[in-house]
Structures are given as structure tokens and as C-alpha cells.
Amino acid sequence: MYQFINAIIFNSRSLLTFGLALLTISLIVASYAFQETLAQGLNNSINIEESNVNSPNIENMTFIIDEPVNVSIVPGSSALTDTAYDPNPVEIKIGQTILWINDDSVFHTVTSGKVGDSDAGHIFDSGLAGPTAMISKGKAFEHTFEVAGEYSYYCILHPGMEGTIIVT
Ligand SMILES: [Cu+2]
């Protein structure tokens, strides 16, 4: 009888130990699975945000409204004429901006009009002094064209250099 009771107690103890172990394992598995689900959910929400940012409409709007069109003042421009500003001519839409960049090691200007015009530089002019003067390599000047038309421009310091911007 004593042995029988002892066996039951022993068995129930080992059963309890086994049950507790099983419970611990399932808790660990469950928490791991939960973390995985949580991570998956976070990934999904990040993916949704990225796909919104990259939607074609937003990209197109950025390009049309904000992106300036670059025109380089090429190295050795002083000795050039209609190839000093590159590309030339440039066709743009109303509201677009041209960004001229001095890629030469010499001081140049971007001055509206033609050599000898009384109103030369009235529409835009990077100038011979001040913050927009393109005195050295890497200096840039920009102008946004709000009115349709054909705009000639040249360099005051090297009047052979000339370019055209066509705005439609
Ligand atoms: Cu020049």
C-alpha cells in the first residue's frame, strides 16, 4: 500500500515536472512566433510607406517643377563661341530653371541679351561682382524662366561666348 501511494506521488511529481517543462517550451515558442509576426508586420508597413514615396506621380511632379536643367561653362570656354555653354541651345518649359555651372578655371558671366544691347543683363546676369559672380570653378548661377520666348545670353568677359534658351 505504502509503495503504491509512493508510486502515485512519484508519478504525479514527474508528471508535474514534465507539464511545467512543456508549458515553458510552448511559452518560448509562442513568444518567438509573436516576435516574428510583429517583425513581419513592421516590415509590411515600411514597404507600404516606401511604395507611396516612389509612386510615379510624385516623381514626375518633382522633376517638372523642381529639377533645374544644368548648363556647363566648359573648360577652355574663353576661346569658344556657341559651344562654350553646353548644351546649347536648351529648350525648356515655362517655370523651369536653368542652372549654369562654371566648369572652367576662368571667370565668366551669364548675361542676358547680345553684345552691345542697351538692355543687356536686364533679364538675368550673373554679374562681375557679388554672390552670383562666377569668378572660379564650381560657381553656379540660376534663373527661372516664367515667360515664353527665345533668350540669348553671352559672357561679358569673353563676348564670343554665346548661348540661347528657348522657353515654350
Ligand atoms: Cu567668359
All 3 cell numbers of residue 7? 508510486
| Whether residue 87 sits in one domain with residue 151 | yes
Confirm if 95 and 65 have CB atoms less than 8 A apart.
yes
Q: What is the pTM of this model?
A: 0.62
Task: Kindly give the distance from the C-alpha atom of residue 92 to the centroid of ligand 1, in angstroms, as a whole number.
Answer: 23
Task: Kindly give the distance from the C-alpha atom of residue 138 to the centroid of ligand 1, in angstroms, as a whole number.
Answer: 14
Q: 27 in a domain, yes or no?
A: yes
Show the domain range for 96.
67-167
pLDDT of residue 67: 87
pLDDT of residue 155: 98
Please tell me the distance from the alpha carbon of residue 73 to that of residue 77, in angstroms, as a whole number: 7
Single out the residue in 31, 54, 77 at which a domain terminates: 54
Task: Kindly give the distance from the C-alpha atom of residue 164 to the centroid of ligand 1, in angstroms, as a whole number.
Answer: 15
Q: 115 in a domain, yes or no?
A: yes
Question: Residue 120 corresponds to which amino acid?
Answer: A
Task: Kindly give the distance from the C-alpha atom of residue 61 to the centroid of ligand 1, in angstroms, as a whole number.
Answer: 34
Task: Kindly give the distance from the C-alpha atom of residue 158 to the centroid of ligand 1, in angstroms, as a whole number.
Answer: 4
Q: What Å distances lie between residue 48 and 34, 37, 51, 62, 124, CA to CA? A: 21, 17, 5, 20, 44
Task: Kindly give the distance from the C-alpha atom of residue 23 to the centroid of ligand 1, in angstroms, as a whole number.
Answer: 83
DSSP for residue 106: S
pLDDT of residue 37: 56
Q: 32 in a domain, yes or no?
A: yes
pLDDT of residue 107: 98
Ion ligand 1: residue ranges with CB closer than 5 A: 108, 155, 157-158
Task: Kindly give the distance from the C-alpha atom of residue 155 to the centroid of ligand 1, in angstroms, as a whole number.
Answer: 5
| Whether residue 126 sits in one domain with residue 150 | yes
Return per-residue pLDDT of the chain as tens, 168 residues.
Answer: 556 555 555 566 665 555 556 555 565 555 666 566 555 655 544 444 444 455 556 555 544 556 899 999 999 999 999 999 999 999 999 999 999 999 999 999 999 999 999 999 999 999 999 999 999 999 999 999 999 999 999 999 999 999 999 999
pLDDT of residue 24: 59
Task: Kindly give the distance from the C-alpha atom of residue 115 to the centroid of ligand 1, in angstroms, as a whole number.
Answer: 13
Task: Kindly give the distance from the C-alpha atom of residue 84 to the centroid of ligand 1, in angstroms, as a whole number.
Answer: 8
| Whether residue 13 sits in one domain with residue 72 | no
pLDDT of residue 166: 98
Task: Look at the chain and report how many structural domains it folds into.
Answer: 2
| Whether residue 37 sits in one domain with residue 118 | no
DSSP for residue 81: S
Task: Kindly give the distance from the C-alpha atom of residue 34 to the centroid of ligand 1, in angstroms, as a whole number.
Answer: 68
